[in-house]
Structure 1
Amino acid sequence: MSYKVTRRSEAVAYEAPGHYDMRPTRLHNPGDVNDGRITVGLSHFLPGGGCHFGSNALESIYYVLAGEMDLTTDDGTTTLHAGDSFHCGPGTQKAIQNNGPVSCQMLVILTRPEQA
């Protein structure tokens, strides 16, 4: 199939390794479209929720829709507010934690590397 529409009610909850006090939902998978490489999810982090310091093999974009999220990299910690985003390449070490008083909603976009 060359396209896919995902309705709000069709988002699928799943387990995200290394994450805590959060609920990730999957909106789109690479297999949804021909030659797809993008995964899109919407994650809901409770206050205190986050992800332990580590990396993955995917190019990643985090876009904060609501709330705030502290982002830690090898260069230090910064706070992302609603409307802010973070883009990193595969293998980038990072951690995130919601240190704010309300839940944080974050759109997560992951792209697997092109296959040679």
Structure 2
Amino acid sequence: MEIVRLADARPYIAPKHYDMRSLRLQGFEASGADFAWTGLSYFLPGGGAEMDAGPLGKIYVVLEGAVTIELGSGEVHVLKALDSCFIPGGEARAVRNYGNTVAAMLVVMPYPEKSA
């Protein structure tokens, strides 16, 4: 078993995100997790992620506050504490914290496929 204490979690840069800070909780350099990695994202008021469609599916779990997820189709959903969603690979989404408090969200994603 590998434990990563929040105090020891290292920050990482999430492309196309703004006014957001992220910590790696599992996987990559944080642990030997071999099927997925987990990050903790703190979105400041007004912070978010630009509309983008990555190749891999992702799971979001809101821990505190609320985030608005807008899909490329125009659908808009507000996730509050302990709400979660799965976004399949290739589906465009934008994330935004429209509130006045920090929103915390857990992100779970598989590793990118290695090229041969």
- Preserved contact between residue 40 and residue 108 of structure 1 (Cα < 8 Å): yes
SS in 2 for 1:43: strand
The aligned runs of 1:25-44 (5 Å cut-off) are 25-30=23-28, 32-33=31-32, 36-44=34-42
Instruction: Report the AA paired with residue 84 of structure 2.
Output: S
Q: Is 1:72 aligned to 2:62, yes or no?
A: no
Alignment match, 1:53:
51
**Who is 1:88 aligned against?**
87
Could you list the structure 1 runs, at least 4 aligned residues long, displaced by more than 4 angstroms after superposition: none
Greater CA drift, 72-81 or 105-114 = 105-114
Q: Secondary structure at the match of 2:22?
A: strand
d(CA) in 2 for partners of 1:70, 1:8: 25
Q: Which residue of 2 aligns with 1:112?
A: 111
Provide TM-score, normalisation by structure 2.
0.88
- CA RMSD across the alignment: 1.9
CA distance in 1, matches of 2:8, 2:36: 18
Unaligned runs of 5+ in 1: none
Question: Per-residue displacement from partner, 1:30-70 (whole Å, max 9, x unpaired)?
Answer: 57337x12110101000100000001122200000000000
The two structures have a TM-score, normalised by structure 1, of 0.88
Q: Unmatched 5+ residue regions in structure 2? A: none
Provide the residue aligned with 2:12 in structure 1. 14
Aligned counterparts of 1:80 and 1:102: Cα–Cα separation in 2: 14
Q: Percent identity?
A: 36
> Do the aligned partners of residues 114 and 13 (structure 1) sit closer, same or farther apart at CA in structure 2, a change above 3 Å counting?
closer
| C-alpha distance in structure 2 between counterparts of 1:67 and 1:89, whole Å | 24
